[in-house]
Structure 1
Amino acid sequence: MSDRPAKHSPKDAAVAVGLMVLACALLAGTTLVAKMLGPAGGDNPLHPFQISAGRFCFAALVLTPFLMAWRPSFAGTRWANHALRVLFGWAGVSALFAASGLMRLADANAISFLNPVVAMLLSIPLLGEKVGPWRWGAAAVAFIGAMVIVQPGSAAFQPIALVALLAALFMGAEAILIKKLADSEPPLRILAINNFAGAALAATAASFVWVAPNSGQWILMAALGATMISVQALFIQALRRGEASFVMPFFYLTLIFAAFYDYILFAEVPALASWIGAALIIASAITIAWRERINRRNSPVITR
């Protein structure tokens, strides 16, 4: 055996899993909060644009002290890519919050998990990537899974599910831009621009549908923003402490947490078709991540 220490120790791996599971619990909680702020929450429901404004504005507020302490440089910022990322990110979050407010949380989250498939498809024209039969097959399985959940043409069809599909499309486009930005810019800069520019965009959109929130709704929106920043921080730390290929499959525990929260607060129970469709989507996303890892490992190293 080599005396060289492993890149990630077993302790690091255990901590990474713990951080990812906590991130999943909080991430599922954000869709629960969105549902509580929407029509399912009772009187005075807030518009999804207003909920996403709370998410971005309070997240920016939480992030401010950290930016003042570390003062990230903005030299060389690729503003066009940031602008598109913010637009797609805001649109994806708003669509997901809209879907979460009117359908089962497990279904809305499962459909949103299509975003890796969307990112894969967009990587062909935008990043020039080649997609092999494994990933094409995974994309086909994901599509079947989405159709099992949505059930078009049947009595179980929910039109709001199309909004969840739209969320997956926007989030997939955002993922492509995050990949492009992560190659050249530090994480704190990306985080700062996303939340502050997102706050400006979200607040502008919310001004057209503004309804005065009550005190409880203000608290929930503040919790939503703080939770999203916490999720992002936990996610980054989990990936730093463990290999992405090992840690990322735990991300799909978000679905379990969402179903649990929905059952406890709203007595919603996912149908068998929901679990089957979710399993197909998750399996396809893991397959795509696995093939991407193999492709990166087999790619030649180019030095300048």
Structure 2
Amino acid sequence: MSSSLVGIAYMCLGVLCLALGDALAKWLGGSYAPVQIIFFRTLVALPLVATIAYFNGGLRTLATRRPGVHLIRGLIATGTMFCFVIGLTLLPLAETTAIAFAAPLFVTLLSGPLLSERVERLPFIASLAGFVGVLIVVRPGAAGFQLGALVVVGAAVCYALLMITARRYGGKERLWAMVFYVTLVPLIVSALLLPLYWRPPQSVHWLGFVGAGILGVVAMACITLAFRHAPASLAAPFDYTAMVWAVLLGWWFWGEMPDLWVYVGTGVIIGSGILIAVHERRVAIKARPTT
């Protein structure tokens, strides 16, 4: 099997793990507060991240000279998690996933003012088209519109900020240090809030809490391996296979059936994201030095 196919396979597996973790969070959200879900998810994930770091250069890879940067990124990650988990409890799984696809579009628009990067016309137009897709999904003013849609848009904005800060400091900080602290800070924040929302878990729910944490780490590892084996422009579009899993899991466990407009809006969002990825790939190729 070629390296690119291996990368695609890792990407698809990682996306599947994310979708399963989201489904578990939605299931747990029917009985527990988002604070408790995030606490256990990060509590399970943090030692796994530290273990992976240990076998990939040792615990010294977690050292940093920029604690303030990691604190800010951790708080952004906390906002992402809270908004997304709340959205999962308020919206169907497929609709939540579709709106979350807007995150790369926010990256394109925010990279100009925050990173001083020039946003070319094609990505800019594609981003605007993608937001039209988001509006098609959430349909403001329609009877089906819910506050949960705005909460998930907030999660997409926070995640975009997380990706922008990763782009800004990714070359200056070790990978596993960045992953470790965006897991540690949400754990601390949720632990401080947990006494206000604590509810003793039932036996079967313990499996959900542990499973969600493990799936999150496995997803992260698979997606990291995907980008090591395949070009980003080739692997990244397979992130959209999450919609397939979201539709299937939502239908299977909750009897959720997205209407036509959710599919139409999702198609517009995915098309915009792929167009931006292809454009960035072409720009990267042109920027390579000739031999």
TM-score of the aligned structures, taking structure 1 as reference length: 0.89
1:86/1:198 contact within 8 Å kept? yes
2:87/2:151 contact within 8 Å kept? yes
Give 5+ residue unaligned stretches, structure 1: 1-9, 40-44
Tell me if 1:60 matches 2:46: yes
**Following TM superposition, by how much is the alpha carbon of 1:74 offset from its aligned partner in structure 2, in angstroms?**
4.6
**Following TM superposition, by how much is the alpha carbon of 1:206 offset from its aligned partner in structure 2, in angstroms?**
3.0
> Which amino acid in the other structure matches residue 33 of structure 2?
H
- SS of aligned partner of 1:269: coil
Q: Aligned partners of 1:66 and 1:242: how far apart in 2?
A: 21
**Following TM superposition, by how much is the alpha carbon of 1:76 offset from its aligned partner in structure 2, in angstroms?**
4.6
Q: Which residue of 2 aligns with 1:6?
A: none
**Following TM superposition, by how much is the alpha carbon of 1:71 offset from its aligned partner in structure 2, in angstroms?**
1.7
Task: From the two aligned structures, give the one with the greater helix fraction.
Answer: 2
> Which amino acid in the other structure matches residue 42 of structure 2?
F
Q: Which residue of 1 aligns with 2:36?
A: 50
Q: Aligned partners of 1:237 and 1:121: how far apart in 2?
A: 28
Tell me if 1:35 matches 2:35: no
- SS of aligned partner of 2:32: coil
Q: Aligned partners of 1:76 and 1:229: how far apart in 2?
A: 21
Q: Which residue of 2 aligns with 1:200?
A: 188
Alignment of 1:1-304 (within 5 A): 11-39=2-30, 45-69=31-55, 70-299=58-287
> Which amino acid in the other structure matches residue 35 of structure 1?
K
Q: Aligned partners of 1:187 and 1:28: how far apart in 2?
A: 23
> Which amino acid in the other structure matches residue 137 of structure 1?
I
1:113/1:281 contact within 8 Å kept? yes
Q: Aligned partners of 2:48 and 2:251: how far apart in 1?
A: 30
Q: Which residue of 2 aligns with 1:5?
A: none
> Which amino acid in the other structure matches residue 15 of structure 1?
V
Q: Aligned partners of 1:95 and 1:208: how far apart in 2?
A: 18
- SS of aligned partner of 2:147: coil
> Which amino acid in the other structure matches residue 275 of structure 2?
T
Q: Aligned partners of 1:159 and 1:74: how far apart in 2?
A: 38
Give 5+ residue unaligned stretches, structure 2: none
Kindly provide the CA deviation profile for residues 149-195 of structure 1, in whole angstroms up to 9, marking residues without a partner as x. Answer: 11111112122111111111111111111112211122122122222
1:55/1:221 contact within 8 Å kept? yes
Q: Name segments (4+ residues, structure 1) moved above 6 Å.
A: none
1:57/1:203 contact within 8 Å kept? no
Identity %: 27
2:62/2:174 contact within 8 Å kept? no
- SS of aligned partner of 1:293: helix
- SS of aligned partner of 1:193: helix
2:74/2:184 contact within 8 Å kept? no
- SS of aligned partner of 1:72: helix
> Which amino acid in the other structure matches residue 29 of structure 2?
G
- SS of aligned partner of 1:129: coil
Moved more, 287-296 or 112-121: 287-296
Q: Aligned partners of 1:193 and 1:83: how far apart in 2?
A: 7
